[in-house]
Amino acid sequence: MYKLYHYSIDPFSRMVRFILNELPADYILIEQNFWNYDEKFLRINNMGTVPVLLTDDVLILNHYQLIIDYLYSQYEPDFFYPQENDTLTIRKVCIWFNEKFYNECTKHIINEKLIKSFVNQELNTSVLSGVRYNLSVHLEYLTHLLEHTSYLAGDKFSLADISAAMQISIL
């Protein structure tokens, strides 16, 4: 049985949870609140980040991409890369969402709207304005992908759909 350390608002934790739900995998969820100092968790993952997947044989995977690659190697689900020749393109779309979209939009929304509310800080409206601009650029690109490719919301569900949905779900 897997143990998944996660945080419910983290898009990468959401992605791994979604994938685990689609697989015939047994797992338990362990909520890891990033603002709490947890020495036990830091011994498991000294980076202190989520998601982290522990396997039965005590393999520790401490990054969402390692977890996804591991799960693919164990289960080879069709929905990761439904068309063999599109694997690289699907991975490129995933990288765009999980790195560029995350760094320019999602992480700022999490910080401004969620974290600052926990610590009673005021929102930085200039950051939110920047996010709004970045989001408009990303949505134009997303529209292009939807209109001209089958990698997102196409006939076959893929890892690109999961990456997109988990980032957008935070907004």
pLDDT of residue 56: 82
CA distance 141 to 133: 13
**Do 152 and 161 contact (CB within 8 A), yes or no?**
yes
Instruction: Please give the helix or strand (H or E) that residue 144 lies within, else none.
Output: helix 125-148
CATH-assigned architecture of domain 84-168: Up-down Bundle (1.20)
- The ranges assigned to domains in the chain are 2-75, 84-168
Mean pLDDT of the region 83-106 = 90
Question: To the nearest 10°, the Cα dihedral for 11, 150, 136, 130?
Answer: 40
Summary mean pLDDT of the chain: 92
pLDDT of residue 89: 87
- The conformation of residue 84, written as its DSSP 8-state character, comes to G
pTM: 0.91
- The winner for highest mean pLDDT among 33-47, 50-64, 122-136, 137-151 is 122-136
Show Cβ contacts of residue 118 under 8 Å, excluding neighbours closer than 6 positions: 35
- Please report, for residues 18, 51, 69, the alpha-carbon distance to residue 29 in angstroms, rounded to integers and kept in the order given: 12, 10, 19
Class of domain 2-75: alpha beta
More confident position, 13 or 116: 13
CA distance 98 to 12: 8
Question: To the nearest 10°, the Cα dihedral for 65, 132, 152, 71?
Answer: 20
pLDDT of residue 87: 85
CA distance 35 to 91: 31
pLDDT of residue 84: 65
Cis previous bond, 11, omega within 30: no
Q: Which of 6-10, 20-24, 33-37, 48-52 has the lowest mean pLDDT?
A: 33-37
